[in-house]
Amino acid sequence: MLGGDLVAVWEVALSDGVFRVEFAHGTTTGKRIVYVNGQEVIRKDWMFKLVGKETFTVGSADTKATIVIEAVTGFAYEYTLEVDGRSLQKFIDNRAHTTKTWLLKVGGEDYRVVLEKDTMDVWCNGQKMETMGEFVEDGTETLFTLGEHECCIKATSSGKKKSGIVHFLLLDGEKIPAST
């Protein structure tokens, strides 16, 4: 599909899914192609300037992503991906604080459940879920269903200032380990 011009591949995990960003850069032809999950989102042929930036969006929330093309030495190039104005690593580190993700198998199906801690929105396999929140004695519970299964994300105090609130997912009352 991409031929010999594929120079970089990144994985971007958002609430509505994990997106594969591929970049093809023809340094002899000046061609630049950006693919997101195999779909071409940018194609530029015959660019005389081989360095620069390509900006596009990823996911249903149209998260801004930019590929930065820099010359390192002579004819060598370095490609970095920025997401939401940060390097991919800083973006990933920030999401580790603002979201929690669980990967689970229910009735033979794979599910990726993401909690956005600031809004308490719950996403499952790319869809924002209908939830019901309630206060309980030791914190809050956010309730939703996966098919025939009752799910509950419990938020309770860890009792420690540093770790703050702990979130865990219960599927039909069984605790599901969070993914790293």
Average pLDDT over residues 82-89: 96
Residues 69 and 116 in one domain: no
Show Cβ contacts of residue 36 under 8 Å, excluding neighbours closer than 6 positions.
Answer: 19, 20, 21, 56, 58
Tell me the CA distances in angstroms from 105 to 65, 77, 117, 177, one per residue in order.
31, 41, 23, 12
pLDDT in tens, 150-178: 999 999 987 887 768 889 999 999 999 88
Tokens in use for 5? 């011009």
Q: What is the dihedral of CA 141, 146, 149, 151, to 10 degrees?
A: -10
Range of the domain at 146: 97-176
Residue 1 pLDDT: 44
Residue 3 pLDDT: 59
Residues 114 and 80 in one domain: no
Answer whether residue 91 is part of any domain. no
Q: CA 88, CA 169: separation in Å to the nearest integer?
A: 27
Q: CA 19, CA 11: separation in Å to the nearest integer?
A: 6
Q: Hey, CA dihedral for 171, 174, 178, 179, is it positive or negative?
A: negative
pLDDT in tens, 110-152: 999 999 998 999 999 999 999 999 999 888 999 999 988 999 9
Q: What is the CATH number of the domain that holds 64?
A: 2.40.128.180
pLDDT in tens, 53-75: 999 999 999 999 999 999 988 77
Answer whether residue 58 is part of any domain. yes
